[in-house]
């Protein structure tokens, strides 16, 4: 404890200590427009004596609002301990970048860092000192709406992106006035609700949790994220917010997290609904015992103030520990030196949606877009082609996605606006709205299509159909959009379909009806320009899928790194002949589009792979030399991917696990050699005793450009004595 914190803490009453543990919205200080992210009871109003001791405020931003609240608060706070302002700055503040699922589809951690840096700089000017990001939850069920806030289904990709995001938000430590503290969420396994239903039970074994889910949280904590947020769900039979084993044994002790642990909205009160707490006082004591420092909007810790003298000594000690951690965070963020650190209305005006930020958002958006089909060179379009643009996503600024509450659709061009600047002739008709069953003015559309060279159909979901509390039983485009696409396809013109979405969808019919398909995970402020640049070939599509796209909804959850079964479907097996194997009778096991998949305009292939050493010590490094060739007349990029599989081990292993990836650029008609260096320690797995280590034995090493088309070679790992 440093001297500033020690001095303040020594003067604090128990009421003031508890106050530091309470977080409220800005509505308790002003008639503002705080971002509400959960249920709000108007009965939960604080007395002035409590209001001016609370430690933090969420959902308020804007330099003037934050400054005014802080000034008013400090007038009334006895010890002049400043408020800490927190907000959901997830994929942008005013300049909105692609949603995190889109950031993951760049397969480029630098793009994640850039996004987080810009978001931090803009929001810091607006008074935010803590962001509730990154979300590092592993997700495998597109029925769950918050997959949009994740970086996908793979533990390694999640881990890389989690660390990159923390780096971007926080910068070099100590955190300066242009950066914000990052919050790892939601601890833990929030992304695995049964049936994809929001806030539902999570029921996975501790072995599987450690083997698949824990690594991305660890990566963010190792990157020195300052806060962790609890999850709403149960894990190992106990709600996470009151789960002492999860929060103290695993988070605090194993992962060595020593920062601030904050509950999600009202999560402490929800212990009562879970049936693990009798009342609000009991819920508060359980959460404190689990190490939860800040109560977000449950008013459970405030309830303790009703009977100060009745608080047990054990709980008083826990309150002290939490108050100290919160004070230390405030000191680290510079609030005791300057309660208004970083706040600047002028900078906020200049910084937000500045041209340099837009250019960075454009680059990231371009790298996030995934080409999944391109028959007969339908794309790129020629600037001299006559294009008919149609569909509900064709002339809208609704490209920002969820968690873009400070973004402005007015700052977001539509695809129609941008494509007109790149193609000589663009005819337009919306044709159909997002949830309309019958096309508008069909006869006029038929007349327009007669004279065009290609039809570009922009379909998709609205921003409000992804994010928190947007679970779907059937993640697919509305029937009306599919019917409209089918009618357009019958007109006999080449069809380019763009799908704007916040989650994987069942696109089997879309694929069948289209000559080319582009997938864009809500691409942000500059999304329309990025899409139009890719359509005309000014930019190479280099995005790759961070989640598997199912062939049909019955396959869900479907993911590439599944464990093998005792009766697997073998490659080349006649599934129609063999009955007693792990398969469906009405669908293939394979997805429509696999993890890591994406196409480009340049023709880039792997032409040679060599493993430098097939026998490696447990402390050694697997090294492969891969030669790529671009046999086309245009420059391009691809994502080289390396997977491994443990052939025999104590516990079952996934059929393949991503262990390395890199975006590689090649000039036209050129070759490039890439060296893959993979430390053997990266092959660690969790065993039956829950310990993690690398087994001696044989491993399959696979290299390719997506998870389903891989070249294989075997290596042997041996525990050799070091000389």
**pLDDT tens-digit series, residues 360-376:** 999 999 999 999 999 99
Query: In this structure, what token pair is assigned to residue 570?
Result: 């073998």
Query: In this structure, what token pair is assigned to residue 613?
Result: 């050493």
pLDDT at site 350: 82
For the CA atoms of the chain, what is the radius of gyration? 26
CATH number corresponding to 604-718: 2.60.40.10
Going by pLDDT thresholds of 50, 70 and 90, the confidence category of residue 34 is low
Q: Residue 134 in contact with residue 216, Cβ under 8 Å?
A: no
Query: In this structure, what token pair is assigned to residue 353?
Result: 């949606």
Query: In this structure, what token pair is assigned to residue 501?
Result: 């979405």
d(CA 273, CA 318): 24
Sort 361 into a burial class: Cβ within 10 Å, 0-12 / 13-18 / 19+. Answer: buried
Long-range contacts of 15-18 (CB under 8 A, 24+ apart): 15/49, 15/50, 15/53, 15/305, 15/308, 16/53, 16/78, 16/79, 16/81, 17/319, 17/320, 17/323, 18/53, 18/301, 18/302, 18/304, 18/305, 18/319, 18/323
- Can you tell me which residue has the tokens 């092959």? 683
Q: Residue 413 in contact with residue 353, Cβ under 8 Å?
A: no
- Can you tell me which residue has the tokens 């079964």? 565
172-178 average pLDDT score: 97
220-226 average pLDDT score: 99
Query: In this structure, what token pair is assigned to residue 173?
Result: 């430590």
H or E segment at 705?
strand 697-706
Mean pLDDT of the chain: 95
Catalytic hit among 137, 141, 264, 398 = 264
Phi and psi, residue 401, nearest 5°: 80, 175
pLDDT at site 33: 53
pLDDT at site 183: 99
CATH number corresponding to 1-87+259-353: 3.20.20.300
520-549 average pLDDT score: 99
Query: In this structure, what token pair is assigned to residue 437?
Result: 């069953």
Among 176-185, 307-316, 610-619, 672-681, name the one with the lowest average pLDDT.
Answer: 610-619
234-257 average pLDDT score: 99
Q: Give me the percent of the chain exceeding a pLDDT of 70.
A: 96
Question: Which residues make Cβ contacts (< 8 Å) with residue 208, sequence separation at least 6?
Answer: none
- N-term to C-term CA, the chain: 45
Domain locations in the chain as residue ranges: 1-87+259-353, 358-553, 604-718
264 catalytic, yes or no? yes
pLDDT at site 47: 81
Going by pLDDT thresholds of 50, 70 and 90, the confidence category of residue 37 is low
Q: Residue 186 in contact with residue 218, Cβ under 8 Å?
A: no
Phi-psi region of 139 (alpha: psi -120 to 50; beta: other; left: phi over 0): beta
Going by pLDDT thresholds of 50, 70 and 90, the confidence category of residue 405 is very high
Phi and psi, residue 661, nearest 5°: -155, 155
Do 358-553 and 604-718 show the same overall fold? no
Q: What is the pLDDT of residues 327-386, one digit of tens each?
A: 999 999 999 999 999 999 988 888 767 899 999 999 999 999 999 999 999 999 999 999
d(CA 574, CA 397): 48
d(CA 503, CA 399): 14
H or E segment at 355?
helix 355-368
Q: Residue 260 in contact with residue 229, Cβ under 8 Å?
A: no
385-394 average pLDDT score: 98
- Can you tell me which residue has the tokens 């790129």? 380
- Please count the other Cβ atoms lying within 10 Å of the Cβ belonging to residue 497: 28
Going by pLDDT thresholds of 50, 70 and 90, the confidence category of residue 411 is confident
Domain 358-553 homologous superfamily, CATH: Glycoside hydrolase family 3 C-terminal domain (3.40.50.1700)
pLDDT at site 347: 87
Query: In this structure, what token pair is assigned to residue 657?
Result: 């696990």
pLDDT at site 43: 45
pLDDT at site 722: 44
Q: Is the pLDDT at 119 greater than 90, yes or no? A: yes
pLDDT at site 228: 99
Q: Is the pLDDT at 520 greater than 90, yes or no? A: yes
533-561 average pLDDT score: 98
Going by pLDDT thresholds of 50, 70 and 90, the confidence category of residue 95 is very high
Q: Note the pTM of the prediction, 2 decimals.
A: 0.96
pLDDT at site 723: 33
112-133 average pLDDT score: 98
Query: In this structure, what token pair is assigned to residue 117?
Result: 């840096």
Question: Which residues make Cβ contacts (< 8 Å) with residue 306, sequence separation at least 6?
Answer: none
């Amino acid at each position: 404890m440093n001297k500033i914190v020690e001095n303040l803490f020594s003067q604090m009453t128990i009421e003031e200590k508890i106050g530091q543990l309470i977080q409220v919205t800005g509505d308790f200080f002003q008639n503002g427009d705080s971002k509400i992210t959960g249920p709000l009871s108007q009965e939960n109003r604080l007395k002035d004596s409590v209001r001016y001791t609370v430690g933090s405020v969420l959902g308020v931003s804007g330099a003037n609002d934050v400054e005014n609240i802080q000034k008013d608060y400090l007038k009334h706070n006895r010890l002049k301990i400043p408020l800490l302002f927190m907000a959901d700055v997830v994929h942008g503040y005013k300049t909105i970048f692609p949603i995190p699922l889109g950031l993951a589809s760049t397969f480029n951690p630098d793009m994640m860092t850039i996004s987080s840096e810009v978001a931090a700089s803009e929001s810091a000017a607006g008074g935010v000192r803590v962001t509730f990001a990154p979300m590092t939850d592993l997700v495998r069920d597109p029925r769950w709406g918050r997959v949009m806030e994740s970086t996908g289904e793979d533990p390694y990709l999640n881990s890389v992106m989690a660390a990159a995001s923390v780096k971007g938000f926080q910068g070099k430590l100590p955190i300066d006035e242009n950066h914000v503290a990052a919050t790892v969420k939601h601890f833990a396994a929030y992304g695995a609700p049964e049936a994809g239903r929001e806030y539902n039970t999570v029921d996975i074994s501790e072995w599987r949790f450690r083997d698949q889910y824990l690594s991305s949280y660890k990566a963010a904590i190792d990157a020195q994220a300052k806060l962790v947020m609890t999850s709403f769900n149960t894990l190992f039979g106990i709600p996470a917010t009151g789960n002492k084993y999860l929060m103290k044994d695993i988070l605090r002790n194993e992962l060595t997290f020593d920062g601030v642990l904050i509950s999600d909205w009202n999560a402490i009160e929800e212990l009562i609904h879970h049936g693990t707490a009798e009342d609000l006082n009991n819920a508060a004591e359980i959460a404190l015992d689990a190490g939860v420092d800040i109560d977000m909007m449950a008013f459970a810790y405030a309830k303790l103030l009703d009977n100060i003298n009745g608080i047990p000594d054990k709980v008083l000690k826990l309150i002290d520990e939490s108050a100290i951690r919160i004070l230390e965070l405030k000191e680290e963020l510079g609030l005791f030196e300057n309660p208004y650190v970083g706040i600047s209305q002028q900078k906020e005006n200049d910084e937000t949606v500045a041209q340099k930020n837009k250019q960075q958002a454009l680059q990231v958006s371009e790298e996030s877009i995934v080409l999944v089909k391109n028959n007969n060179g339908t794309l790129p379009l020629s600037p001299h082609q006559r294009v008919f643009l149609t569909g509900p996503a064709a002339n809208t600024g609704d490209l920002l996605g969820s968690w873009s509450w400070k973004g402005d659709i007015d700052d977001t061009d539509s695809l129609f606006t941008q494509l007109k600047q790149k193609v000589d002739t663009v005819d337009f008709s919306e044709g159909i709205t997002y949830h309309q069953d019958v096309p508008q003015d069909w006869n006029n559309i038929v007349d327009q299509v007669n004279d065009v060279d290609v039809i570009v159909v922009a379909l998709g979901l609205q921003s409000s159909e992804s994010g928190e509390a947007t679970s779907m039983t059937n993640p697919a485009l509305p029937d009306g959009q599919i019917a409209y696409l089918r009618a357009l396809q019958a007109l006999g013109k080449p069809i380019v379909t763009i799908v704007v979405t916040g989650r994987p969808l069942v696109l089997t019919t879309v694929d069948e009806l289209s000559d080319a398909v582009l997938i864009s995970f809500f691409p942000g402020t500059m999304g329309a320009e990025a899409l139009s640049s890719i359509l005309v070939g000014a930019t190479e599509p280099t995005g790759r899928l961070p989640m598997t796209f199912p062939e049909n909804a019955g396959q869900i959850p479907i993911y590439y790194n599944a464990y093998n079964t005792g009766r697997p479907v073998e490659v080349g097996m006649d599934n129609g002949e063999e009955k007693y194997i792990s398969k469906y009778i009405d669908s293939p096991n394979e997805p429509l589009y696999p993890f890591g998949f994406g196409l480009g305009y340049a023709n880039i292939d792997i032409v040679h792979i060599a493993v430098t050493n097939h026998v490696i010590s447990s402390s050694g490094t697997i090294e492969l030399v891969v030669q790529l060739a671009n046999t086309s007349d245009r420059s391009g990029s691809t994502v080289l991917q390396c997977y491994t599989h443990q052939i025999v081990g104590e516990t079952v292993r996934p059929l393949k696990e991503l262990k390395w990836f890199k975006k590689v650029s090649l000039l036209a008609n050129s070759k490039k050699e890439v060296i893959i260096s993979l430390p053997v320690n990266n092959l660690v797995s969790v065993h039956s005793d829950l310990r993690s280590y690398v087994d001696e034995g044989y491993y399959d090493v696979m290299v390719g450009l997506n998870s389903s088309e891989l070249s294989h070679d075997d290596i042997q790992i041996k525990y050799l004595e070091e000389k």
